[in-house]
Structure 1
Amino acid sequence: MTPNRPIIAHRPLEAFFARESSAPLAQAFGGQRPVHPFVGLTPVDPSELTPLWEQLTETPLGHPAVAYVHVPYCANHCLFCGFYQNAWREEAGSAYVDALITQLQRERDRPDLSEAAIRAVYFGGGTPTLLSAADLARAIEAVRETLPLAADCEITVEGRVHGFGLDKARAAFAAGANRLSLGVQTFDERLRQRLGRKASRTELLSALEGLMGLDQGAIVIDLIFGLPEQDAALWAEDLDTAIALGLDGVDLYALKQMRNTPLASAVDAGKLKPAAPEQLGRFYQQGTERLDAARWEPLSSSHWRQGTRERNLYNLLVKAGADCLAIGAGAGGSLHGGERAYSFRNTADVDDYQRRLTQGEPVVTGLMRHSPHARLFNRIKGELERGHLDLVGLAAELQAHADRELASLTDPLFAQWQRAGLVMRDGRWLELTLAGRFWQVPLTQNLLEWLDQCLRETPSNA
């Protein structure tokens, strides 16, 4: 083994520590939490885009792999959402699905797909459920006809209850969807009106019961905690309602105050007051304890299921670094090209997307090169997303990849996190505590940034 090289860090180890206190759920970290942990992304020069893209699409797709299909239309701009792109127009639906199908047909013969087995497809947005029943079915059928899907492929349609009747649900299931993910956010009518959600509580409950009555796929909802004027009693009512419905899965998300959203504008103007940051941990604890008491199974730090129908494959695989095809205007994905991984994004302008397809031009307009340690980092992200880290397996991979000892790099950091109440050691495993699961994203970000610093001066063998 090569002796450990000196660590030349831009920031001291202490910069990656958590705050030690008697209330780790409230105080372990301060400031705005990152939405997703990323380290070491660098933009690819536009002059390199075309030849590099050709190289990537000639490199066999990794295993496992997934696909993302983007429908960039919304009926309105919800208060909290930072992903709004285009106002919905009914006449736009069919033409947009035509464009999706054109891209799918054009890419079906890509060399990198010849031996692929795509394990999950996610129709996201935007609001895919705004499409007509016929157009939604056409899009799903085109994916099944053109992409090399695994026999047990999870096919998710994301959307909202408003405008998504049982006719559309039946069409989606008949076309091949087997999972619906609906952004409920809250069942409380007053809070829903503030968020820009249109369905009433009664309509929500009726719609969800109807979808479950079809018994054709997993029915999953999102709930948000930390909403303006939401208190523990309202949050408890949302949780109890979700549990009583008998849904297949539920996501619990802390409200993210993203810039350039109606929520940010309302907060800046003093019109709304979201929950204080230290309250978010208490909401998370409340949600976790209620779901645990009902014997729901956690699949990640933010996702629970009851029963066996729900798998949450797409989300788990993407967060672990799976190769991801990107279909649609504004869709993003990732591919491994030999030793390096790359993220990419299609043009977000719908007119430009359709024009490029008509003229036979690439729809990819941007590439980002990942860290040379991306495979190692993806392993860390995927495991911590599920609440633990295999220290023995990670040590072996780090040794093979960079000839470094994991313990010498991370033991002081993990010991401090344990003192802060965020992790526990259990043999070969580092387990996140309840507070650690709440702070999982900043924990992951800090670990990746620290390792990136430590490995920056180390030639990679990967």
Structure 2
Amino acid sequence: MGEGSRASRSAVVAAPHSGMPHRPKLARPPEPTSQSPRVAYAARRGTDPLTAAFARRQFVVPWQGCEPIGDADVEATFARIVHTPRREPAVAYVHVPYCQNHCLFCGFFQNVWRPDVSAAFVDDIVAEIERLARTPLVASAPIDAVYIGGGTPSALAADDLARLVAGLRRHLPLAAACEITVEGRIYDFGIAKAVAALDAGASRISLGVQSFDTGVRQRLGRKASGEEARAFLNGLVALERAPIGCDLIYGLPGQDERIWHNDVETAIALGLDGLSVYALNVWPGGPLSRAIGAGKIAAAGTLAFQATAYAAACDLLTARGWRQISQAHFVRSPRERNRYNRLIKAGAACLAFGPGAGGQAHGHSWRNVVDVARRRAMVADGRMPIEGLARMPRDHRAHVAITSGLEDGELDLTTVEAEAPGFAEAAAPLIQDWSEAGLGEIDANRFRTTRAGAFWMTTLTKGLFAVLDELESTEAAQGGTPA
């Protein structure tokens, strides 16, 4: 699991012009209550804003506000979606739902990898790509970025991975400068396989390293040592064929300040083009949560440790000349564009291929059926193998403006106001509170996050989404469109 997989699962966003209605301006703003966002999401005072602005980090679930489509209407609704042309560019996400093992920190594990599934799996995906490429949804406008994520795409055999990349290039209407990223892990990649993917047309490689410390890696279930990770990345960089990036996670069990500093220093020394730094999420009921609860592994880093680790990484990278282009992603060279993540968070339509991949277009989101055997049976039956089809909320364009603005470190309040009249006035007390607490700075109609505000970005996002929810409830109470 890496950057694109996180993005495809953590943010359900719709194309900017998806036909969803704008909200009319309210007769009067909502009155504050004890449950009002301006109270519930107020920052603590008299504390360090970086480490203690809130009691915990909060997250927005991908399906928040979505309206499920009833089972009886799924086929007809999805048929309308795929037969409606796009007017705007899109991204494509290809999901490879196999892993060599279930790493403790990962909440997305689906299937144990077996070498004998490689060829048949790629046959299925290429056939799916070819089939959907004929639809107006896919064929009508260019695709600006493709992300092959998982799971572990690098588990595929070299010739099968190359066939997958070649199939994408052959069948999809890719833009001339389309970025095709292959995600992988150290253990099962290898230089020869990377070269095969690049020869087939991949243009970017992203590795889920998480840590270069061998002890930390092994406790999490990673098979390759830190030295093997460094050697492989050195080899990829030496090819000089494509931008190379990796992910690091802060807050891992057994990771202290020294180890984290060494992780970031190692990434810098390798000459990578891009680096993402993420906070550890301990999934409730997941393998890491169970292992910590049973005393089999050290506890995860505290919230304060995560905050200081994030700030330390930001300071170290920017001091070495790296440029921060989003909350978590840094670039060293101009050829690192990170197009998929930036486009998906800015509201691009997403065309989904493979078991468990999430898609979105024309005001709807969906997920491909996860079970491989069930998908094959549905395709053989002439049915579209999708599930979880839902209609985006009316405020979704406002959600996108909030998410992408805070992700980039600068929220344009007028953009949100244009999608949700009344938002700027309703959000003003909360944004003023955050500014006074040291989480951001107000400049006319823009709110720019500080380093502390960037760390708490997901909590700020949740707070502003709550403002939108309160506006909708107030509108309904004042006799507007029902919530």
User: Do these two structures clear the TM 0.5 threshold for a shared fold by scoring above it?
Assistant: yes
| CA offset digits 1:381-424 (Å, max 9, x no partner) | 111111111223333x13xxx5x244321111110111221110
What are the ranges of 5 or more consecutive residues in structure 2 without an aligned counterpart?
1-23
Q: Which of residues 448, 452, 460 is equivalent to 1:443? A: 460
* Letter paired with 1:380: I
Query: Residue 165 of structure 1 aligns with which residue?
Result: 190
Query: Residue 339 of structure 2 aligns with which residue?
Result: 313
Contact 2:29/2:426 (8 A) holds in 1: no
| Structure 1 CA distance for aligned equivalents of residues 141 and 80 of structure 2 | 16
Contact 1:62/1:323 (8 A) holds in 2: no
Query: Residue 366 of structure 1 aligns with which residue?
Result: 388
Q: Which of residues 405, 426, 434 is equivalent to 1:383? A: 405
Deviation at 1:355, TM superposition (A): 2.1
| Structure 1 CA distance for aligned equivalents of residues 301 and 410 of structure 2 | 29
Contact 2:26/2:422 (8 A) holds in 1: no
Q: Secondary structure at the match of 1:5?
A: coil
Query: Residue 316 of structure 2 aligns with which residue?
Result: 290
User: Quick check: 68-77 or 257-266, which moved more?
Assistant: 257-266
User: Quick check: 71-80 or 362-371, which moved more?
Assistant: 362-371
| CA offset digits 1:326-376 (Å, max 9, x no partner) | 10011111111xxxx211011100111122223322111221222111112
Contact 1:65/1:324 (8 A) holds in 2: yes
Deviation at 1:377, TM superposition (A): 1.4
Contact 2:95/2:355 (8 A) holds in 1: yes
| CA offset digits 1:275-323 (Å, max 9, x no partner) | 1122210111111110011110011000101010111111111122211
Assess, with a 3 A threshold, how the Cα gap between structure 1 residues 169 and 430 changes in structure 2: closer, same or farther.
Answer: same
User: Quick check: 265-274 or 159-168, which moved more?
Assistant: 265-274
* Letter paired with 1:144: R
Assess, with a 3 A threshold, how the Cα gap between structure 1 residues 392 and 366 changes in structure 2: closer, same or farther.
Answer: closer
Assess, with a 3 A threshold, how the Cα gap between structure 1 residues 105 and 8 changes in structure 2: closer, same or farther.
Answer: farther
| Structure 2 CA distance for aligned equivalents of residues 406 and 254 of structure 1 | 30
Is 1:265 the counterpart of 2:290? The answer is: yes
| Structure 2 CA distance for aligned equivalents of residues 227 and 254 of structure 1 | 9
Q: Report runs of 4+ in structure 1 exceeding 6 Å deviation.
A: none
User: Quick check: 89-98 or 5-14, which moved more?
Assistant: 5-14
Deviation at 1:26, TM superposition (A): 1.2
Query: Residue 109 of structure 2 aligns with which residue?
Result: 84
| CA offset digits 1:137-173 (Å, max 9, x no partner) | 1111111111111111111111101121111111111
User: Quick check: 243-252 or 450-459, which moved more?
Assistant: 450-459
Contact 1:119/1:152 (8 A) holds in 2: yes
Assess, with a 3 A threshold, how the Cα gap between structure 1 residues 112 and 134 changes in structure 2: closer, same or farther.
Answer: same
Count of residues in Structure 1 that have an aligned counterpart in Structure 2: 452
Deviation at 1:36, TM superposition (A): 5.7
Query: Residue 377 of structure 2 aligns with which residue?
Result: 355
Query: Residue 412 of structure 1 aligns with which residue?
Result: 429
Query: Residue 327 of structure 2 aligns with which residue?
Result: 301
| Structure 2 CA distance for aligned equivalents of residues 293 and 321 of structure 1 | 32
Q: Secondary structure at the match of 1:91?
A: helix
| Structure 2 CA distance for aligned equivalents of residues 52 and 357 of structure 1 | 17
Q: Which of residues 134, 138, 157 is equivalent to 2:163? A: 138
Assess, with a 3 A threshold, how the Cα gap between structure 1 residues 238 and 35 changes in structure 2: closer, same or farther.
Answer: farther
Q: Secondary structure at the match of 2:276?
A: strand
Deviation at 1:32, TM superposition (A): 5.1
User: Quick check: 180-189 or 258-267, which moved more?
Assistant: 258-267
Q: Which of residues 99, 102, 114 is equivalent to 2:127? A: 102
TM-score, L = length of structure 1: 0.94
Query: Residue 354 of structure 2 aligns with which residue?
Result: 328
* Letter paired with 2:117: A
Query: Residue 440 of structure 2 aligns with which residue?
Result: 423
| Structure 2 CA distance for aligned equivalents of residues 21 and 158 of structure 1 | 43
Q: Within 5 A, what are the aligned runs for 1:23-34?
A: 23-31=48-56, 33-34=58-59
Deviation at 1:3, TM superposition (A): 6.2
Query: Residue 72 of structure 2 aligns with which residue?
Result: 47
| Structure 2 CA distance for aligned equivalents of residues 9 and 366 of structure 1 | 35
| Structure 1 CA distance for aligned equivalents of residues 374 and 328 of structure 2 | 36
| Structure 1 CA distance for aligned equivalents of residues 332 and 217 of structure 2 | 25
What are the ranges of 5 or more consecutive residues in structure 1 without an aligned counterpart?
none
| Structure 1 CA distance for aligned equivalents of residues 288 and 333 of structure 2 | 35
Query: Residue 236 of structure 2 aligns with which residue?
Result: 211
* Letter paired with 1:343: S
| Structure 2 CA distance for aligned equivalents of residues 427 and 216 of structure 1 | 44
| Structure 2 CA distance for aligned equivalents of residues 434 and 87 of structure 1 | 39
Query: Residue 343 of structure 1 aligns with which residue?
Result: 365
| Structure 1 CA distance for aligned equivalents of residues 346 and 70 of structure 2 | 26
Deviation at 1:62, TM superposition (A): 5.0
* Letter paired with 1:363: P
Contact 2:25/2:422 (8 A) holds in 1: no
Q: Secondary structure at the match of 2:435?
A: helix
Q: Secondary structure at the match of 1:252?
A: strand
Q: Which of residues 131, 145, 153 is equivalent to 1:120? A: 145
Assess, with a 3 A threshold, how the Cα gap between structure 1 residues 360 and 448 changes in structure 2: closer, same or farther.
Answer: same
Q: Within 5 A, what are the aligned runs for 1:160-199?
A: 160-199=185-224
Assess, with a 3 A threshold, how the Cα gap between structure 1 residues 3 and 258 changes in structure 2: closer, same or farther.
Answer: closer
Is 1:67 the counterpart of 2:84? The answer is: no
* Letter paired with 1:366: G
* Letter paired with 2:309: F
Deviation at 1:457, TM superposition (A): 4.7
| Structure 2 CA distance for aligned equivalents of residues 96 and 270 of structure 1 | 38
TM-score, L = length of structure 2: 0.90
Deviation at 1:95, TM superposition (A): 0.4
Q: Secondary structure at the match of 1:223?
A: strand
* Letter paired with 1:439: W
| Structure 1 CA distance for aligned equivalents of residues 121 and 424 of structure 2 | 52
Is 1:231 the counterpart of 2:256? The answer is: yes
C-alpha RMSD over aligned residues: 1.9
Q: Which of residues 9, 21, 27 is equivalent to 1:4? A: 27
